[in-house]
């Protein structure tokens, strides 16, 4: 790895199946789901079903994104004095600019609204990263750079997103990408927020702590909206870059966690990428996908993947110490991470 591995210190999650990381990860471990009808109707006249987050005081739009993000931040920073929050850079992951029906204000108002909700401020080096599902990987790459500065001991990565708005849902409904009784090749939309507190790995870390040892990126020309034949070259490049960054090979990985949310295109891509990177036979190679429990959550997908890997690592129900995580955007951006549990 070109820099010291990043340690995942704490995680926070706000999802349709749990309003904290322990609750949400326990639900995902047991494959619990909680879909419900939205207030939107699809082109066939049926209610659109989604994984909705139920807050104490119902709200929508930027307000809901800010409140969910604030809840996740409070969870990960609960043990840190508020006076020290202003020294922590916050990297806010939001929907990519290409997202159909993308909310206004994500780039210039949401971070301010989150700080107002918390009645706190964060370091001037805080930034908004509009990279959708690969946002967590981009944030970890950026955090690796920030943590090399002498005055930065930790970085807060936050993701908040929702696909449950009519401009977004109507687009995916028109493209027949929503999961319905008539369309099996689709995803169920979701929403939520998550947070990761990361720092450089040290020798005093507790056993079971998860560290990010490799990060890789790629670009897929044959993305889901193209007419080109899929060869998974973008994901293959991302996976190989992450493995090389960590100094390991695919057969060293024990299991995988991804952002797969139900569409055949992305499952096929994952299978193709595996066939081109795994050179030794493995009897078992589990593939976990949290979206089956929390829905397609956009920018939250990467954080939810890491939070689940962290819970599995700390509680000892993972298939092994090494995990590969990978994420993909509709426009073709691909990202992969290698994560490793610290020895007992």
- CATH superfamily of the 210-341 domain: Thiolase/Chalcone synthase (3.40.47.10)
Position 318 scores a pLDDT of 92
d(CA 125, CA 107): 15
Q: To the nearest 10°, report the CA torsion of 202, 285, 236, 248.
A: 40
d(CA 223, CA 329): 8
Statement: 6-200 belongs to CATH 3.90.1520.10:
no
pTM above 0.85, yes or no: yes
Residue 1 above 90 pLDDT? no
User: Phi/psi of residue 102, each to 5°?
Assistant: -55, 135
Same fold, 6-200 and 210-341: yes
pLDDT tens for 124-174 read 999 999 999 999 999 999 999 999 999 999 999 999 999 999 999 999 999
| Domain coordinates in residue numbering, the chain | 6-200, 210-341
pLDDT tens for 282-315 read 989 999 999 999 999 999 999 999 999 999 999 9
Q: How confident is the model at residue 35 (pLDDT cuts 50, 70, 90)?
A: very high
56 contacts: CB under 8 Å, gap ≥ 6:
none
**Burial class (CB within 10 angstroms; exposed 0-12, middle 13-18, buried 19+) of 82:** exposed
């Amino acid at each position: 790895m070109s820099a010291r591995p990043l340690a995942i210190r704490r995680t926070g999650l706000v999802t349709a199946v749990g309003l904290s990381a322990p609750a949400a990860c326990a639900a995902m471990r047991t494959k619990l789901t909680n879909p419900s009808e939205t207030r939107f109707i699809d082109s066939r006249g049926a209610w659109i079903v989604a994984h909705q987050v139920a807050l104490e005081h119902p709200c929508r739009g930027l307000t809901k994104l800010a409140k969910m993000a604030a809840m996740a931040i409070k969870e990960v920073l609960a043990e840190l004095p508020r006076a020290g929050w202003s020294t922590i850079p916050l990297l806010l992951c939001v929907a990519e600019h290409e997202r159909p029906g993308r909310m206004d204000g994500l780039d210039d108002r949401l971070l301010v609204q989150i700080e107002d909700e918390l009645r706190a401020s964060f370091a001037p080096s805080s930034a908004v990263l509009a990279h959708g599902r690969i946002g967590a990987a981009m944030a970890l790459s950026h955090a690796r750079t920030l943590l090399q500065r002498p005055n930065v001991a930790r970085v807060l990565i936050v993701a908040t997103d929702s696909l449950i708005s009519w401009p977004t849902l109507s687009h995916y409904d028109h493209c027949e990408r929503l999961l319905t009784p008539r369309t099996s090749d689709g995803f169920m939309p979701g929403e939520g927020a998550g947070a990761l507190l990361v720092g450089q790995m040290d020798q005093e870390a507790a056993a079971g702590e998860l560290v990010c040892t490799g990060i890789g990126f790629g670009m897929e020309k044959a993305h889901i909206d193209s007419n080109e034949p899929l060869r998974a070259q973008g994901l293959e490049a991302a996976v190989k870059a992450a493995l090389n960054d960590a100094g390991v090979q695919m057969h060293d990985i024990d299991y995988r966690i991804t952002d797969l949310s139900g569409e055949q295109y992305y499952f096929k891509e994952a299978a193709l990428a595996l066939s081109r990177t795994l050179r030794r036979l493995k009897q078992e190679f589990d593939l976990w996908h949290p979206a089956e429990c929390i829905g397609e959550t956009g920018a939250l997908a990467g954080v939810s993947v890491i939070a689940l890997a962290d819970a599995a690592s700390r509680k000892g129900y993972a298939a092994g110490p090494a995990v590969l995580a990978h994420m993909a955007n509709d426009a073709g951006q691909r990202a992969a991470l290698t994560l490793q549990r610290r020895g007992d």
